[in-house]
Structure 1
Amino acid sequence: MSKRQRHTLDVSKRPFADIAARLRWHRVEFEGLQQAEYAAKAGIGRTALSNWETGDKRVSIDAAMRLRLVYGTSLDWLYCGDAESLPASLRRAWRDAEHPDQGRDWLRPPP
């Protein structure tokens, strides 16, 4: 599988696809970093980051806290999609990237 194929891999059927999509967007679109750079800056393993970005594994609380400290993400956004909890510049970028409806789904009661 080529790098490009891996980058465009459809993770929508994975258990943690929503978290994977937000994390990948933050790394690629907002920070513009390769996995190795992003992971090293946050002090996490590249393999762990790869597993999170494929949606196969959920980001641990400890790792989410590292991402919050280093990159300014929030746990509410990472786990639940609540963009209101992000710093203003990151929140604007997320909404400008055609995610205006994400961020309140977790507040809706189940059907």
Structure 2
Amino acid sequence: MDTSPRYSRAYVKKETFPAIGQRMKLVRIAVAGTQAALCKKTGIKPQTWNQYERGRSRIPIDTAIEFARIYDVDLHWLYMGGPLEESRFPQQLRDAIREAARREAEISESVKDLDDDAADQAAG
């Protein structure tokens, strides 16, 4: 793999970092489970991976390419998004990503409900 500067600094707008991070998180949940398991397999430091998932850091293109290779992920989908049906993922991976997205939505809704309950109690 060519990791010369012309590839390692591919231009990605900062405002797309959170969306890319969310897609990476869904893939991680679907195929590796924990951040620790993914980091062990990829050699990425946990703090660094956490920054990628949260959209706080740009993932270097060479890292994204390696991630896509290891987990058989469509690099275009990782960066650009779009319907899973149009990606080149194996069906089993598509299903696992959909399930991860469903679980993430449930968790987000539960947290929102807890926040709403806490606000209601505070308002008393």
TM-score grouping bracket, smaller chain normalisation: 0.5 to 0.7
Unaligned runs of 5+ in 2: 1-13, 103-124
Q: Give the 5 Å matches for 1:1-111.
A: 15=15, 16-28=17-29, 30-82=30-82, 83=84, 84-95=87-98, 97=101
3-state DSSP class of the match of 1:85?
coil
Name the structure 2 match of 1:102. Answer: none
How much is the aligned-residue C-alpha RMSD, in angstroms?
2.1
Q: Identity of aligned pairs, percent?
A: 32
In the alignment of these two chains, the number of paired residues is 84
3-state DSSP class of the match of 2:40?
helix
Which runs of structure 1 show a deviation greater than 6 angstroms over 4 or more consecutive aligned residues?
none
Rounded Cα–Cα distance in structure 2 between residues aligned with 1:57 and 1:91: 26
Unaligned runs of 5+ in 1: 1-13, 99-111
Larger Rg: 2
The letter of the residue matching 1:23 is M
Rounded Cα–Cα distance in structure 1 between residues aligned with 2:26 and 2:98: 12
Greater RCO (CA < 8 Å, at least 6 residues apart): 2
Deviations 1:64-111 (A, max 9, x none): 11111211112111101143232222123334545xxxxxxxxxxxxx
Tell me by how many angstroms 1:19 deviates: 0.8
Distance 1:65 1:32, change over 3 A: closer
Rounded Cα–Cα distance in structure 2 between residues aligned with 1:34 and 1:91: 18
